[in-house]
Every structure is written in structure tokens, then in C-alpha cells.
Amino acid sequence: IRVFSEVELVSNNMQSPEEVPITLKELDGSCRTYYGYSQAHSIHLQTGALVASLASLHFRLHLL
């Protein structure tokens, strides 16, 4: 019980985590993601692929 009491004391005195996102410039590595940033390249590619797929589907349906 003494250990749990000490853990609670430490936990209560700690700072809360910061909620500030890391800037895109600070990521600076190839293993990092761009998800959630306005300059995300993969989002634009996914949107283009979706539009192309929908256009193809629309064209095929009109041929029936």
C-alpha cells in the first residue's frame, strides 16, 4: 500500500502532457508520416484515384 501511495503522490505532482502538435518541419525524416498535415501528398493522390475510379464506373454504367 505504501508503494501505491507514493505512486499516487508522484502522479499527482507531475505535469500534464503537452497537446501541441509537432510541426511538419520538425518531423524531417523519411520514416515519419504526413497524416493530419495540410501538405500531405498521399491524401491528394487518394482523392485523384477515387475520382478516376468513379469516372470509370460512371462511364461503364452508361454503356449498359
The more confident residue out of 42 and 3 is 3
pLDDT for 59: 79
pLDDT for 32: 58
Q: What are the pLDDT digits (tens) for 13-51?
A: 776 766 777 776 776 666 656 666 565 555 555 666 777
User: Which residue matches cell numbers 505512486?
Assistant: 7
Domain count, the chain: 1
pLDDT for 36: 61
Number of other CB atoms surrounding residue 23 within 10 Å: 9
| Within-domain flag for 19 | no
| Within-domain flag for 2 | no
Structural domain including 59 reads 39-64
Q: Are 39 and 25 in contact (CB under 8 A)?
A: no
